[in-house]
Structure 1
Amino acid sequence: MSDKTKNYLSVAFFAFFGGISRYYLGKIWQSNGTIVANLIGCFLLAFLTYYVIESDLLASWLNVGLGTGFIGAFTTFSSFTVDFMKLIMANHYLHAFLYLFISMIGGFLCVLCAYLLASKIISKKKDEF
């Protein structure tokens, strides 16, 4: 099987589970499901990038499947935009601003935490050798 085919199948396989995971997260968190999924996705993608890929722990087709497939389907920019616009259209400006602020700053902080955690794990592994 070619690398290209492995990548396509991996993305499709993991996207199914990413979409299902987001669906159930939305069921649990209801209207806050989108923001929770996006924040978790920010952390997971940054950790995957900074630790798993940089440490060369998994095959490339698996990295593509997890990053593009699972996390891509798990997070949702379109639902974020729709939620934000619904708040604006309903004249809930403070709530809309908070939603935008939490998404942007929270996403950045999740990425930062994932990066710091990955860096700490990598440096700890280097110290062991």
Structure 2
Amino acid sequence: MVYLYVGIGGAIGSILRYLVSSLSLPTFNHFPMGTLFVNLLGAFVLGWFVARIAPLQSISKEVKAGISTGIIGSFTTFSTLSVEVIQLFQDSLYLWLFLYLSISVVGGLILTAIGFSIGQGKTVGMEDI
């Protein structure tokens, strides 16, 4: 039964990603703003979800998997990030490649930590990052 929840969540998450990616976000020298935005947002939301919702006993494991793996997992996109990194490399846009990877990894970790702290009901400060 968990597969059904993950599948439905996956459909919802991928449609949300498509809608968000279709927004006309500014492009700077081939810099993939849409993917960066959805991945950073997804990192924050997953951090919050794991800290706030996942521990609740009143929500079934199927629903939790449908939200975390299904919706959030399909909303974010490591494969697109990988392709865009290769494209930046092939276009010799090394500064943009470094910035994209740095912001994606470091920013994702920071936003996950912030989401986690907020999910635990903590006030977020620099010591949490």
On whether the aligned pair clears a TM of 0.5, the verdict is yes
Amino acid at match of 1:44: V
Moved over 6 A (4+): none
Structure 1 match to 2:15:
20
How many residues were matched structurally? 116
Return the offset for 1:47.
1.1
1:41 partnered with 2:42: yes
1:1-129, aligned counterparts within 5 Å?
Answer: 5=1, 7-28=2-23, 29=25, 31-120=32-121
Return the offset for 1:52.
0.5
Unaligned runs of 5+ in 2: 27-31, 123-129
Amino acid at match of 1:104: V
TM value normalised by structure 2: 0.84
For residues 41 and 71 of structure 1, what CA distance do their matches in structure 2 show? 6
Return the offset for 1:88.
0.9
Retained in 2: the 8 A contact 1:22–1:33?
no
Q: Residue 53 of structure 1: SS of its match in structure 2?
A: coil
State percent identity of aligned pairs.
31
Structure possessing the higher radius of gyration over alpha carbons? 1
Unaligned runs of 5+ in 1: 122-129
TM value normalised by structure 1: 0.84
Retained in 1: the 8 A contact 2:35–2:80?
yes
CA RMSD of aligned residues (A): 1.4
